[in-house]
Chains A and B, each alone.
Chain A
Amino acid sequence: MVVIVYVLAGAAAAAAPLLWLLRRAVRATRAAELRTGDAEASARAVGARADAAEQRSRAADGTARAAEATARAAEATARAAEDRAGAASARADAAEERTHAADIAARTAEAHRTVADARYAAAVRELGHLAHERLPAATTALTHPRTPVPGPLDVTGGTEELQHALESALTAAVRAVLAERDRTDAAARAALRGAASKIQALLIQVRSLLEEIQLSVDDPRLLALDFRNELTLRRVQSLAVLSGAWPGMTREDSPLAELCVGAQSRVAGYARIEITNHLREPRLAVAARAAEPVAIALAEILGNATAYSHPETRVVVSIEQGSSGALVVVDDMGVGMEPDQLERAGDLLGGQAEVLLTELGDPPQAGFAVIGLLCRQFGFGCRVEPSPYGGVRAILRLPADLLTLTDPAAPLSALAPRPITQTTPVFDEGDALPTRKRRSPRVPQQDAPPALPSPAGSTPDRARSAWSALQSGTLAGRSAVHHGPGLDGPAAPEGVETP
């Protein structure tokens, strides 16, 4: 135990410093402890502060959270507001656009209205023009084909529909007028046909009666009456043909020369018509079915020729025989026809133009229309052209199928011209060049005064004979007046041998 105490002493000796150290440590510890306590206190304070802070922090945190929530809410609100604003803006934009569009539309509408107004005015003008100008002109043009029909006022401005509508209105009106005209014309034609046929039949009876009476009664006035009757008959015949009746009467095959003379006899100025027969075959005849139509057509040609030429000029008719048919060439020395008249006549003769009674004029000029109708119905042809004689030349062409030969036993009428080659030669055979013989007019100039001897170079003898001739003529005239006029007078028995 000593050792333990030694050791404890030695340990005590040795422990002295340690004790010191210990004391020091204890002091230090104590100090440390103090400081620790301080620290602890301060730590505690800090902790409290921290707690407080923490609490505050927590509170702050809550506040923050609340704020955050509020902010979020605000943000959401803001967003919503923003959205609404956007939407409102979009609506505003849209509204603005609509306004703009409406504005444009309004402007467009305004422009359209202006255009529509202009169109309306134009349409009214066009309608007025249609009613007052175009329609009357179009209806006039139906009867006078050369009447100009004005077009619409404004060809470029109006719409196509308007022009179309106007045109169809015009067409419809013209069609209605045409239909009505045809109807009226048909009615007039039927009435005329009835009357003309009846009168024609009666006049033909009158003709037969007159012909009969002429054989027993020698009064020349019967001949004049016959002539008047024939003129009337021709007028009625042409009306009958125009109104679509059967042309006149049936005939047998008739010699062409006789037909020409027969046509001549139906014309007022027939004495001026000079027919020359150049047929190689005198019996050349027109077939029965076409005989009377050819006579009527020729009478119309001759009627035109005499009516439109001076009463003292001749109308020259030549009957020719071609290689395939016969021709009757009629020349007058009249005033001729204007080119448009010739053209119209050509249309009528060619059967191209439709003939209406209303188109014949007043007084009716039916000649070419009648000839054209007969040409078309019976297959012969006619045309007119300017004549080398100065007037109009009309050529009637008879095709071979309308021609035939008559019975040689049936004699020609004494009044029909014989073929010129049978009586006198047309050309002198001895001459180197053919010369046409002059033919003096067939009509003796009865009314022409006898040629008086010319006073120039007269001798007393001649003067005496002239005066005595005048005296005897006067005496003869007086005695004729005393004894009654004309044929029965016994005056001037020169040339009559009394037994």
Chain B
Amino acid sequence: MTTPSGPRRRLVPAYLATQGRTAAAGRHSLDRLSILHAAADLPAGLGGEHRQLWELVRPGALTVAEAAAHLRLPVSATVFIAADLAERGALKVRAPIPSAQPVNRDLAERLLSGLRALK
């Protein structure tokens, strides 16, 4: 009966990952570009979704958005899982890499002239 056309109707809603909480655990500021990487072994007593996320980021770092795509969960739900792991020290969270900003030309020119002056 499995029809390949179209996505399957949702059976498991994402909010289950919140475990009934209104905000993610801990005080890590996690957004979709926060970078996760494994820091320690998986602590016992967490659900299967925690294990999956931990296994996803173990080989390297992933942003929350990427991890969410792998887990096929919305970012808002993935944040809860990642925060649980970070709270237990199994994950490290980096703030997002700031996007490139226009260079202060005046500062750069003064630096350049200063360097030249060193010669």
Contact = CB atoms under 8 A, between A and B. Distances in A.
A331 interface: no
B1 A442 contact: no
Which 5 residue pairs spanning A and B have beta carbons closest together?
A223-B15, A271-B20, A214-B74, A440-B45, A413-B12
B28 A495 contact: yes
Contact of B23 (A291, A480, A487): A487
A180 interface: no
Interface residues of B, number: 55
Interface in B26-79: 26-32, 44-49, 51-53, 71-77, 79
Given A249-B9, A413-B12, A495-B28, 17 more contacts: A223-B77, A226-B15, A252-B3, A264-B16, A265-B12, A265-B13, A288-B1, A413-B11, A413-B72, A414-B49, A414-B53, A415-B12, A439-B45, A487-B27, A489-B27, A496-B29, A497-B93
Contacts of A224: 15, 18, 22
Interface in A453-499: 480, 486-492, 495-499
Contacts of A354: none
Nearest to A225: B15
B27 A491 contact: yes
Contact of A220 (B3, B23, B32): B23
B2 A252 contact: yes
Interface residues of A, number: 66
Contacts of B45: 439-442, 444
B48 A418 contact: yes
Interface of A: 207-208, 211, 214-215, 217-224, 226-227, 230, 249, 251-254, 258-259, 261-262, 264-265, 269-271, 287-288, 291, 295, 404, 406-407, 410-411, 413-418, 423, 439-444, 446, 480, 486-492, 495-499
Contact of A487 (B17, B29, B46, B97): B29
Contact of A218 (B27, B49, B71, B76): B76
A442 B13 CA distance: 18
Contacts of A264: 16
Contacts of A440: 44-45
A414 B73 contact: yes
21 contacts: A214-B77, A218-B74, A220-B80, A223-B15, A223-B17, A224-B15, A249-B9, A251-B11, A254-B11, A265-B13, A269-B20, A414-B52, A414-B72, A415-B48, A416-B12, A439-B45, A442-B45, A444-B84, A486-B23, A495-B26, A499-B95
A491 B95 CA distance: 14
B74 A227 contact: no
Contacts of A271: 19-20
A423 B48 contact: yes
Contacts of B94: 496-497, 499
Contact of A410 (B8, B25, B77, B86): B8
A496 B92 CA distance: 6
Contact of A414 (B10, B24, B71): B71
Contacts of A491: 27
B30 A265 contact: no
Given A218-B79, A271-B19, A262 B12 contact: yes
A220 B18 contact: yes
Contacts of A221: 22
Nearest to A446: B25
A405 to B, nearest CB: 10
A495 B86 contact: yes
Nearest to A263: B11
A173 B94 CA distance: 78
